[in-house]
Amino acid sequence: MRAEITEKERVSAIKEAITIIRRNLPEYTYKCQDANSNGGIYKPIDNIEWTTGFWPGELWLSYLETGDEIFAHAAGILVTSFYERIKKHIAVDHHDMGFLYTPSCVAAWMIKRDAMAREAALMAADNLVSRFQEKGSFIQAWGAMGADDNYRYIIDCMLNLPLLYWATDETGDEKYRTIALRHTATCIANSFRPDYSSYHTFFMDKETGKPLRGETCQGYKADSSWARGQAWGVYGLALAYRHTGEHSYLDLFEKVSAYFMEKLPEDMIPYWDLIFQSGDEPRDSSSASIVACGFLDAADSYEKLQEYDKARKYRKAAKELLKAVYDTCMVHADESGINGLVKHGTYSKKSPYNTCTEAGVDECVSWGDYYWLEALVRLGGTWKSWW
């Protein structure tokens, strides 16, 4: 039987995380946190990466847990930076508007009714909508719109879509939701194989809009399952159900989740690609935390549907994953030489078959820290999701 994180461990993990976050405040209030640590330390950067929303997300979670205005104040300073970024169109020619603007600005609007944050998040939603390709019915992930080598979407985009549902709820304009639904339909039709493993990226035909082929950028090879891609699929489907009530999304969520769980090694920390289940390849602890968030979100949905066995099943699995992260990856506040929250994340690992540039292998990664804290806070049962 696998151990589950206890309430005592959850509370102590949040305390340790917030101690580290508080200590990091001087470093990342007027600068952003890099995507990954190097040798355990994140360097401060300008607001130009796709990942800079995660640190303010950690600040908002810390604020909600402690009520200490210092966290809200620091997050508020970053809201100005996010407003400037979208207003001036700095490093936003890609689809990662949800990762950027949901935990930073939607959170700021929900918690503090910060009007600048709302405006920034709506501009980001407009930017995301502008990347929709009618031919193929998808949001183009990267590069110049319509570029031959980038006529594709990636599975990660499922986490950018909640920004669009939020924008429709906020403005009453259905265009955001319609695009989210159309992209979801394309993703569901193409990104999952018959065994419910997933492609990282998927190309569409620019002339006909027909699906062409799956490939990978950050996974081991085109027909393997990049662990984080599968994790984005799990959490993205749980969120898609919550925003639409479309039960077939939950049915698919179960199958994609089962594939992820079956491919875990004994200690439950996934290798960076699910093709590996033993050996010395690096792990990606962030995938475990992302999936735990997805499981907790789905558990709430099953609860509302009165499908209590399923609610219990996914809450239990989430607690097992979090226990694994707690035991083997969590950074303790008294550890020296490391300023992240969770070890053993992998951003991009080069393989003979993929196209990524190697970065952040066996390091802390900013989304790994964020989703770990989100999962711990979620488990407390009172958090209102900004996704």
Q: Shortest approach of ligand GLY to residue 143 CB, angstroms?
A: 15
Q: Are 235 and 297 in contact (CB under 8 A)?
A: yes
The binding site comprises 96, 156, 214, 216, 228, 232, 348, 351
Q: Is 93 a catalytic residue?
A: no
Rounded to whole angstroms, the Cα distance separating 306 from 308 reads 5
Q: Are 133 and 163 in contact (CB under 8 A)?
A: no
Verify binding: residue 369, ligand GLY, rule CB under 6 A. Answer: no
Verify binding: residue 228, ligand GLY, rule CB under 6 A. Answer: yes
Q: Is 300 a catalytic residue?
A: no
Candidates 34, 114, 156, 273; catalytic one: 156
Q: Are 43 and 366 in contact (CB under 8 A)?
A: no
Residue 203's DSSP bridge partners are: 152, 213
Q: Are 197 and 255 in contact (CB under 8 A)?
A: no
Q: Shortest approach of ligand GLY to residue 360 CB, angstroms?
A: 9
Verify binding: residue 156, ligand GLY, rule CB under 6 A. Answer: yes
Q: Shortest approach of ligand GLY to residue 228 CB, angstroms?
A: 5
Q: Whose Cβ is closer to ligand GLY: residue 190's or residue 218's?
A: 218
Q: Whose Cβ is closer to ligand GLY: residue 11's or residue 45's?
A: 45
SS3 track for 235-300: HHHHHHHHHHCCHHHHHHHHHHHHHHHHCCCCCCCCECECCCCCCCCCECHHHHHHHHHHHHHHHH
What's the Cα-to-Cα distance from 348 to each of 102, 234, 283, rounded to whole Å?
Answer: 23, 20, 11
Candidates 34, 96, 284, 369; catalytic one: 96
The binding site for substrate comprises 96, 156, 214, 216, 228, 232, 348, 351
Q: Shortest approach of ligand GLY to residue 246 CB, angstroms?
A: 24
Residues of this chain that bind ligand GLY (CB under 6 A): 156, 218, 228, 347
Q: Which residues are catalytic?
A: 96, 156
